Amino acid sequence: MSAERFYRLGILGDERARKSLSPRMHGHVLAKHGLQGVYVALPTPPELVGQAVAGVRAMDGLNVTVPHKAAVIEFLDELAPLAQAIGAVNTIINQGGRLIGDNTDAGGFLDALAHGGFNPAGKTALVLGAGGASRALLWALKSAGCARVLLSARRDQAAQALAADFGAQALAWAAIEDACPAAELLVNATAASSPAEAPELARRILALPLPAGGLTLDINYGRADNFWKAAALARDRAFSDGLAMLALQARRSFYLWTGLDIPAGDYFEALEDYHA
């Protein structure tokens, strides 16, 4: 690969951007493939999002993370069809001065399912949590031919509205146990993964009547004591945390910026010694 071009890349979010693993992954890939460039974290308060996006015109592109994935849209020149359908942007590409918003979360999620040996076509999925990340998950599951997509969250009204947007079925938070025996795929899109974060939720998840042989995927990562993993292993299910999705969506973003199809293993390699 040529080292002549200098890539200017980064990630836009709130203060949590400082802890992102994206600079680590993309920095590793740039170095491994002899590419000149930088990938930096840009923690930005909501009132400065427009100015931050304007600065992308001097860069090749940005990732966008919480809580700015919807807020950046009004400052872009164009949305790719996928970002338009999902209603969220996690990747901005500078194409000759025009800023294009796209979404690699959905593709990264499907790649993570495949990495975990799970094909959602014809299956039943239960997604817990109705935050911004769930938009990409629901779109991905429906597009992949998932036969039944159930969505539940503590905020029942938010779950109902989001389910309606993507043709999913809203399920009352109090009734998730009823759906579990059919849930071949369980996805955690809430913010909690360790008992210390949500003791009551942990006790409930550990008691869920999940079927054996499915997959539980937690979009969070970095929790050494993960109750979603414990619940999966207790039911003889496969488990995957958010590192796979993080790496695989990053690979897709890098391709959109550079046109370079980097092996997925290079992104996983960057995370091999990661410890929260």
| Active site (catalytic) residues | 69
Residue 185 and residue 214 in contact, taking contact as beta carbons nearer than 8 Å: yes
Please identify which residue in the block is written with the tokens 């949500």. 198
Q: What's the rounded Cα separation, in Å, for the pair 149 and 238?
A: 19
Pairing of strands 148-152, 124-128: parallel
Strand partners, 218: 188
Maximum alpha-carbon separation in the chain: 58
- Annotate the chain with DSSP letters as a single string: ----SEEEEEEEESGGGGG-SHHHHHHHHHHHTT-EEEEEEEE--GGGHHHHHHGGGGSSEEEE-TT-TTGGGGG-SEE-HHHHHHT--SEEEEETTEEEEE--HHHHHHHHHHHTT---BT-EEEEE--STHHHHHHHHHHHTTBSEEEEE-SSHHHHHHHHHHHT-EE--GGGHHHHGGG-SEEEE-SS--STTT-HHHHHHHHT--PPTT-EEEES----SS-HHHHHHHHTT-EEE-HHHHHHHHHHHHHHHHH-----HHHHHHHTTT---
